[in-house]
A and B are shown apart, each in its own frame.
Chain A
Amino acid sequence: MTPISLLLVTAVVVFTLGAAALVQRRNPMSLLMGAELMLSASILVLVASSRVHGSASSQGAALLALVLGAAEAVIGLGLALAVFRNRARVDLDDASEVRR
């Protein structure tokens, strides 16, 4: 098994686990963590590609994706706080008043 294939398989596993967390969890925090897992898997693929092609711009892109993750976390956590600060139970599906 080559190192690259190992990295790719790890990325697939982490991505899938993140998506599973996204589907299965009801707590907004866990959902966000799942999203972060998916993002870190894609960054891992970018790093692997930088070793395959010897290209620096994949690493640059990975850095930018990292910044994206930071922005996403800030907004996601802000939303979670804004919605759930005044609730006893933290369950995203409780917040379905938007529909009515």
Chain B
Amino acid sequence: MPPTSSALNMTTIASLCALIALSALFVTLLRKPVHAAMALLGHSLALAALYLSLSADLLAAAQVLIYSGAIVVLFIFVVALLPAEGREENLSLRKFLTAGAVAALLGGTLAIVVRPNLGLGLAATVPTTVDVGHSLFRELFLPFELTAPLLLCAIVGAVALWRRQER
């Protein structure tokens, strides 16, 4: 059961956050795509648990269903379909250093973005699933409806990509 009060269990959140960051690190570092995909699965499940402990129930359910259930499984399927398990071959030190530099640059920028917000506290009210539903069908109605054409385009695009190859 998620906590219904606005008080949050700091230990739970801290350990889940550590788990999330660690699995993200594994996704980045593990060489075999299959292993990276498994790490992504763990990452997504830990995120779902975090959402649950933040009492975002609907989002947690969606995370499990859509992310862990559909997207990550799709990843694993495709990794299995690609030749030679898609093992990476050449990874130079230079490339590694480049990535580190880029990460430092981006992290620094994001730190500037985030820093003024670090002191923010919690609001007294916790949005319930009913509230989320209301917001989806009121102020977010247009974007919500636009997801329909978006998904349709994605499906048509996927089919078209596959068909082109068959000819």
A/B contact in complex, CB under 8 angstroms: yes
A residues at B contact (CB < 8 Å) = 2-21, 23-27, 29-30, 32-34, 36-37, 40, 43-44, 47-48, 50-57, 59-64, 66-71, 73-75, 77-82, 84-85, 87-91
Rounded to whole angstroms, the CA-CA distance of A100 and B107 in the bound complex is 36
Q: Tell me the smallest distance from the CB of A31 to a CB of chain B, in Å.
A: 10
Residue of A16, A84, A85 touching B103 (CB-CB under 8 A): A16
* Min CB gap B119→A, angstroms: 7
Q: Are A40 and B106 in contact, CB atoms less than 8 angstroms apart?
A: no
Contact A18 B24 (CB under 8 A): yes
Cβ of B27 within 8 Å of any chain A Cβ, yes or no, is: yes
Specify which chain A residues have a CB less than 8 angstroms from the CB of B164 in the assembled complex.
82
Question: Which residue in A3, A27, A59 is a CB contact (below 8 Å) of B127?
Answer: A59
B17 touches A37 (CB 8 A): no
Cβ–Cβ < 8 Å partners of A12 in chain B = 107, 110-111, 114
Query: Is B147 among interface residues, defined by CB-CB distance under 8 A?
Result: yes
Extra contacts, 14 of them, besides A9-B114, A54-B127 (Cβ < 8 A), are A9-B118, A14-B24, A24-B28, A27-B88, A30-B33, A37-B27, A59-B59, A63-B136, A68-B150, A70-B70, A74-B155, A81-B162, A82-B162, A88-B84
Q: Are B165 and A20 touching (Cβ within 8 A)? A: no
What is the size, in residues, of chain B's interface with A at 8 Å between Cβ atoms? 88
Please report B residues at the A interface, Cβ cutoff 8 Å.
Answer: 8, 10, 13-14, 17, 20-21, 24-25, 27-28, 33, 36-37, 40, 43-44, 47, 50-51, 54, 56, 58-59, 62-63, 66-67, 70-71, 74-75, 78-79, 81-84, 86, 88-91, 95-96, 98-100, 102-103, 106-107, 110-111, 114, 117-128, 131-132, 134-136, 139-140, 143-144, 147, 150-151, 153-155, 157-158, 161-162, 164-165
